[in-house]
Amino acid sequence: MNISVLGSGRWGTFLAWYSRIIGHNVMLCGRKESKSFNILCHQRHNEYLDLQEDLILSSSLEEAIAFGEFIIIAISAQELRAFAKQICKFPITSKVFILCMKGIEANSGKRLSQIIYEEIGASTNVAIWVGPGHVQDYVKGIPNCMVVGSNSIDVTKAIVNELSSEIIRFYYGQDLIGNELGAASKNVIGIGAGMLDGLNYSSLKGALMTRGTLEISRLIKAMGGNEVTAYGLSHLGDYEATLFSQHSHNRRFGEEYVKGVKFEKLAEGVSTVKALKMLSDKHDVDLPICNAVYSILYENKDPKQELINLFLRPVKFEF
């Protein structure tokens, strides 16, 4: 089938490469002014992979929308609403939009699928593709498992059937609320993990993992999702890739933040934690880890003191 990938960053470029590897016709769409996209156009490779010669590159959003039956979006979560406003200018009947991004809109607390429905239309076929895995591992043939979900089981099955391979095995994830919240919030937990690494408190990651999953499960339940989803691939199952891997942007951001080093790449958790603070207050759900990360990043609280206070709170039962 014809697949368009919108977004030529690390993940978007991989998704285009992957879709071509498994036999689909692929167009990768990037911004004309993007330095990384211009390098791809001229050299057909980046620091992670070499693009196939028959993979089409285009800077025309109109062309990419017309080309794809599946349209994969892999851009910054905070840019999605403005991007969706551009997409809706073109014919999109029967298209399937697959959101391969993890975040929550910082100024509204809206999930990404909600943004698409609001801007493009409630009848749009929208799915999410989340879960663990790094480009650096996938291009070496190291396999992993991920989650695809939508409001339509038929759409979910169609995506899984077309995009599964020996490298990526998919699970159905029909709890959109739980999977979107879980996927977005694990980046915030990842920032906390990086801060622990930077402070030489990596031994506390076990506590961070168990308590982080529990607090996110409570938020998922309060917002109408299935709390058990937090223990699946979109959240807890993604901890290895986010809390421990050297490839994790969010973990590296947290580590370098406490060391006073500026991190130049995108760490989605920085914006997502603002949305989680809003949702914590709105739904009256205590999110101690997320609130600690928020206070460090946005209230200039001392990282060491905030994290020590977090793990030295009064003794309580684990669950």
Q: Which residues are catalytic?
A: 186
Rounded Cα distance between 49 and 11, Å, is 11
Instruction: Kindly report the backbone phi and psi dihedral angles of residue 11, in degrees, each rounded to the nearest multiple of 5, phi listed first.
Output: -75, -40
End-to-end C-alpha distance for the chain, whole angstroms: 47
133: left (phi over 0), alpha (psi -120 to 50) or beta: left
For residue 235, the SS3 value is: coil
Task: Give the contacts of 222 (CB within 8 A, at least 6 positions apart).
Answer: 283, 284, 285
Q: Could you tell me if 67 and 76 are in contact, meaning their C-beta atoms sit under 8 angstroms apart?
A: no
Sequence-ordered list of residues with C-beta below 8 angstroms from that of 242, at least 6 positions apart, any chain: 132, 186, 187, 189, 190, 193, 248, 250, 251
**Tokens linked to 247:** 């490839």
Phi, then psi, of 181 in degrees rounded to 5: -65, -45
Q: Are 104 and 77 in contact (CB under 8 A)?
A: yes
